[in-house]
Amino acid sequence: MSDFEEIINTRRSIRQYQDKDVDDDLILKILKAGMQAPGSRLGAEPWEFVVVKNKQTLAKLGEIKPRVTGAPVAIVLVANIERAFYKTVWQQDMGAAAENMLLEAVNLGLGGLWNGVAPDEERMGQIGRIIGIDEISNLKPYCIITVGYPADGLENKFMDKFDESRIHYEKY
């Protein structure tokens, strides 16, 4: 199995982490992976990232998204829709970045979780207030990616999700 196959097949949602910091250079690699994602218009990618390591801020985020609690780092993916060329597809751009980040986390020996925020307006407002963007109308919190070293008993491991019946050739 190539490294790529290994990463893509073993990525799992990891919801609990060891009490161990993630080095900044690993966080930067995850951010770089996010920015390598395809976007609906080259040069008009909407993504911005708020890296949260402060324990109090993490706890506040955890009140809205419980799985953030206990994570050593949370990255809030924020869409700057002013920058987007195609204004209606920002959630798709952001989703591509989010998945790239989760895969890079696996590549680095970490576990990660996609904590959904958008399109729930109330949740977006709550998260926006915590990270200080609620007054800025062009900034939309999309999701929170938590990463860390998987807690004891948790690991990225293969789970077969393939279902041949979902595949249709030429016509449905």
Ligand X SMILES: Cc1cc2nc3c(=O)[nH]c(=O)nc-3n(C[C@H](O)[C@H](O)[C@H](O)COP(=O)(O)O)c2cc1C
Which residues form the interface with ligand X (CB under 6 A)?
12-13, 15, 65, 67, 113-116
Closest distance between ligand X and the C-beta of residue 63, in Å? Answer: 14
Q: Which is nearer to ligand X, 85 or 149 (CB)?
A: 149
CB of 39 to ligand X, least distance (A): 18
- Identify which of residues 30 and 113 has a Cβ nearer to ligand X in the complex: 113
Enumerate residues 6+ apart whose C-beta is below 8 A from 126.
64
Lookup: tokens for 121? 């307006």
Tokens 């008009």 identify what position?
44
| Number of residue whose CB is nearest ligand X | 116
Could you tell me the smallest distance in angstroms from the CB atom of residue 161 to ligand X? 7
Sign of the CA dihedral running 69, 109, 153, 7: positive
Name the minimum Å distance from CB 117 to ligand X.
8
Minimum CB distance to ligand X smaller for 9 or for 40: 9
Q: CB of residue 142 vs ligand X: minimum separation in angstroms?
A: 9
Q: Spell out the residues 6+ positions from residue 72 whose beta carbon is closer than 8 angstroms to its own.
A: 17, 19, 20, 21, 22, 53, 147, 148
- Can you tell me the distance from the alpha carbon of 127 to that of 59, in angstroms, rounded to the nearest whole number? 12
If the CB atoms of residues 27 and 143 are measured against ligand X, the closer one turns out to be 143
* Segment (H or E) for 143: strand 139-148
Non-local (6+) Cβ contacts of 163 within 8 A are none
The tokens 């506040």 sit on which residue? Answer: 60
With respect to ligand X, which residue has the nearer C-beta, 31 or 146?
146
